[in-house]
Structure 1
Amino acid sequence: MIELLKRVPLFADMTDDQLNIVFSITSRHEFAAQTVLFKQGDPGNTFYIIIRGSVKVFTSNKEGQQKILDVFQAGDCFGELALIDGKPRSATAESLEETVLLTVTNESFHLLLRAHYDIAKKVMVQLCSRLRATNVDVYDLTFLDPSARIVKNIVRNAQLHGRRVGDKIVICSEFDRNSMSGLAGVDLLVLDEVLRELEHQRILTLGRKEYTLDVTKLYQSSYVG
């Protein structure tokens, strides 16, 4: 599990000894598909690390319409703010498939931080990095056009979960249109129009169980300024 913890941004700069200390306060849980882990407004008291499976995080209005904020996969983490302030959840999290998670409660995490200032300092640095990344997302939604937001999120997903094969990146999962439209802040009609153009230019190839991004063709296209 130490190798898994090394992939968690919050713990990225920690030594093996520090990671062993963190691992000592984790618990392992298994969830069936479509299990709600927490709802928007619930008390925030747990941090999650995905061992296997995937989880979507979203908000919804009174009519039940969802706005997907992110989709997390193996090696990703979410809910870290609960470790710090314990305030109510700002979104809902639901497993998309059978999912195995490591969890850390804020109570045990606070005890760890009090005992290990070196770990506390590294956590603060990583939280600052996440805040800067959020500022970039706000900028994107404000200033980038829909097609640019879609392409940027496809590239981001490829970098996080893809496998490089020559000039291409292969992502070994079915392309999730609903999640991608939510992440880019566009409706499905706009997403499908952009996808058709990406496929026409052979920048993106969609398969049944995987999709491929041609990096060379992307950087030769008008999508990259």
Structure 2
Amino acid sequence: MSAANFGLSLVVLRNVPLFSGLDESELEKLSRVSVRKRVERGAFVVRAAESTDSLYSVLTGRAKVTNTDEEGREIILAWLGPGEFFGEMGLIDGSPRSANVVASEPCELMVLSKEAFQRCLQDNFQVAQKLMQILVRRLREADRKIESLALLDVYGRVARLLLDLSVEEEGRRIVKKKISKQDMARMIGASREMVSKVMRDLELSGYIATENDLVIILGA
């Protein structure tokens, strides 16, 4: 899985939210030091405890951030889609990778070296500001997840997860991203069987409906 030896086009860079505020000259500089990397479904992009040497942004495809519990079971911490990035924490504090990132479908990534990332932050306050805003948002989301695990039963955790994954479209809240019961279970700390039961109960009670691969939240 070697990185492609060419810079990213300006069009691609403009679609990465972290760098969207840069002017043409700064985008050109970034383009010259950035490379694309393609990974296949199921491949590890980074592994927990590895040294941190690059920032990654997802251009196409989806990836999951995972770790394992004491019994070796996979825990899904987050999903990453186009425009989202990872690897920034270790570049800031010098610590090893804190989690695995695995491609859940074929992905194309933008890779920026540690030196290029730090130079970009030093030269562009708007990138540093955007990074801080995104990190604060992630911290708030992590706080909500911890609160959910501590205070809500499985029904509440499934309901909150569906709301977090949903988007508003034509006056309805819809979960458009296909997600398996097993992956839902790994995200909320429950068994697949319990998640299946809760989803079935929510549908029978009229709280959700399914259409093909979509989940529609009723009354939201």
TM above 0.5: yes
Q: CA deviation at 1:63?
A: 5.0
Structure 2 residues not aligned, in runs of 5+: 1-11
- Give secondary structure in 2 for the equivalent of 1:189: helix
Q: What number of residue pairs does the alignment pair up? A: 207
Deviations 1:71-118 (A, max 9, x none): 222333222213312311111111112111112222211112222334
**Matched residue, 1:94:** 102
Structure 2 counterpart of 1:93, one-letter code: V
1:61 Cα deviation after fit: 4.6
Inter-partner Cα distance in structure 2 for 1:58 and 1:197: 28
Distance apart, 1:156 and its partner CA: 1.2
CA distance in 2, matches of 1:125, 1:174: 28
Deviation at 1:3, TM superposition (A): 4.7
Shift of residue 41, structure 1, vs aligned partner? 0.8
1:222 paired residue number: none
Is 1:86–1:106's contact at 8 Å kept on the other side of the alignment? no
Question: Partner residue of 1:48?
Answer: 56
CA distance in 2, matches of 1:112, 1:44: 17
Q: Is the 8 A contact 1:2 1:16 kept in 2?
A: no
Which amino acid in structure 1 is aligned with residue 207 of structure 2? Answer: I
Q: Does 1:5 align with 2:5?
A: no
How far, CA to CA, are the matches of 1:22 and 1:174 in structure 2?
Answer: 37
Give unmatched runs, 5+ long, in structure 1: 220-225
* Correspondence list, 1:71-110, <5 A: 71-110=79-118
Equivalence for 1:197: 201
Which residue type is aligned with residue 155 of structure 1?
L
Aligned partners of 2:162 and 2:175 also within 8 Å: no
State the TM-score, normalizing by the size of structure 2: 0.80
Partner SS, residue 120 of structure 1:
helix
1:128 maps to 136
Tell whether the 8 Å contact from 2:208 to 2:218 is kept in structure 1 after alignment: no
| Contact 1:29–1:101 (Cα < 8 Å) also in 2 | yes
Change (3 A) 1:165 1:3: farther
TM-score normalized with structure 1 length: 0.79
* Aligned equivalents of 1:76, 1:202: Cα separation in 2: 34
The 1:75–1:215 alpha-carbon spacing in structure 2 relative to 1, beyond 3 Å, is: farther
Q: 1:137: how far off?
A: 1.9
Calculate the aligned-residue CA RMSD, in Å.
Answer: 2.6
Q: 1:79 to 1:166 in 2, by over 3 A?
A: same
Measure how far apart 1:177 and its partner are.
Answer: 1.6
| Partner of residue 187 from structure 1, selected from 159, 176, 191 | 191
3-state secondary structure, aligned to 2:163: helix
**Which amino acid in the other structure matches residue 65 of structure 2?**
V
